[in-house]
């Protein structure tokens, strides 16, 4: 299954990777590895996670306090719409789209 990132989701991902990389050596890489594993799970069964708004679903990462918000786009591709810090204001992921 194919996937793509919305521009804001890529910005989220880069920002989080830089932040964690500055906190501890290798932590940014560990964050990106967990994102990659999460993407694999999402692509296996993108409808497994509950819809939170419209067709958007939220995958909660286990080690880091982030959610990966995704929806099934045209042609059954998965679009990642946000990689959002869940400690922020609820619903804030959607304000930036």
Domain total in the chain: 1
The share of the chain scoring above pLDDT 70, in percent, equals 91
Residue 97: inside a domain: no
Residue 60: inside a domain: yes
Strand, coil or helix: 28: helix
Long-range contacts formed by 36-45: CB under 8 A, 24+ apart: 38/68, 39/3, 39/68, 39/80, 42/3, 42/68, 42/70, 42/78, 43/1, 43/3, 43/78
Residue 93: inside a domain: no
**pLDDT tens track, the chain, 97 positions:** 789 999 999 999 999 999 999 999 999 999 999 999 999 999 999 999 989 888 999 999 999 999 999 999 877 799 999 999 888 766 555 665 5
Instruction: Work out the number of other CB atoms within 10 angstroms of the CB of residue 9.
Output: 22
Residue 92: inside a domain: no
Residue 96: inside a domain: no
Residue 95: inside a domain: no
């Amino acid at each position: 299954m194919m996937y793509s990132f919305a521009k804001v989701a890529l910005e989220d991902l880069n920002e989080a990777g830089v932040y964690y990389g500055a906190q501890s050596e290798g932590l940014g890489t560990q964050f990106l590895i967990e994102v990659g594993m999460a993407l694999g799970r999402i692509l296996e069964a993108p409808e497994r996670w509950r819809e939170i708004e419209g067709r958007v679903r939220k995958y909660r990462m286990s080690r880091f306090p982030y959610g990966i918000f995704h929806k099934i786009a045209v042609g059954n591709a998965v679009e990642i719409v946000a990689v959002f810090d869940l400690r922020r204001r609820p619903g804030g992921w959607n304000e930036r789209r």
